Chains A and B, each alone.
Chain A
Amino acid sequence: MATLSDQLLHRIREAHRRRTLSWWERIYLPAIAQGLWVTSVHFWRNLFLHLAHRVGLFRRIPAAVTVQYPDEQRPTAPRLRTRHRLMQREDGTPRCVGCMLCETVCPAKCIYIVPGEHPDPSVEKYARSFDLDLGKCVYCGYCVEVCPEDAIRMDTQRHDIAAFSRDGMWLDIIELLHPGSRKHTDPPKKFIQLELEDFRRLKQSG
């Protein structure tokens, strides 16, 4: 281990040294009173504003900074890593080529891909089945980072993963291609394997 420079040592000592308190400060009561004053000012101001809001006054001055989450939602930053989705080609088939790089890189091992042979040799491979277990996902975004086809993104702005069971947190390929299409009470279609035709039909049926 490298030895600390004198300058750094000095700064550490300075930071550790405590300011000596005066007698007035050491009895603490004034500080307690000060603290009580601050909190009481907030209390009475907010109490007044809450009551005033009840009768329709001073609506523009907020009395609380709380966001009532399920009822009102704060807009999220576009770069926030939220629930995954799979990108589609124009005809509704997944852009994913089933290279399994995301499955490999995933530190939580929550991605499960079953590839199939694509009739177009220039595509060659596609994901017949693509499952993601949100119960295991750590939202690291490596799958998005590693994808050579930009086929998986984490930009749905959905961050609620409430479910009644662990299975409910499972995203099948239909849900991933069409985020929000599965009701959270429905069981996921685990490892469902779809043909290209099925994907096209899914897109048409919306």
Chain B
Amino acid sequence: MSHPEHKDYTGAKFGMWLFLFTELLLFGGLFILYATYLTRYPQQFAAGGKELNVVFGTANTVILLTSSLFAAMAVTSVQKGDRTTTLRLLGLTVLCAAIFMVNKYFEWSAKIHHGIYPGSPRLGSAPLGESVFFGLYYVTTGLHGLHVLVGAGLLSWIGMKVNHGKIHQGDFVTLENGALYWHLVDLVWIFIFPLYYLIL
């Protein structure tokens, strides 16, 4: 089984999944804090959640779900040997990531404009739990945004490799792993969305 020249496709995916678990647990630490502070400050969390814009949140959810669809379709297309479609789909995924980040930028700017940011005087005088809610909101969505950027960079790099013919029908594990990473970014958002924007 251990031939160095043989590429262990399953092994590569196995390793990727293990890496995804570490990402899951990384966000897991923040979810532990969220669960704890939600239990302690339910009213303040509700008040904080009302400040968040459900339209922005829902729009970003739809965008990320759609980008995940594109990434999954990219894997299908590379398996079918359709390079042009793969490149187009990867491009669309990265485009969705960009729109997501633009939305995020406007959302954060609006919050900061209203004086809601870590250490702001407004939060300093707000009830105790609200400051914690927004602290967690900024850390969690910030870390998630960072992952969106990393994922978009990764998929762009993979797109270049597809373009150069280094990833193709016969050898596409890198693309599949990149898509797996992107789906993880989506998965985390699937939980962030109801926890921060909807549970009021």
Q: Do A and B come from one complex?
A: no
Q: Could you tell me which B residues sit within 8 Å of A by CB distance? A: none
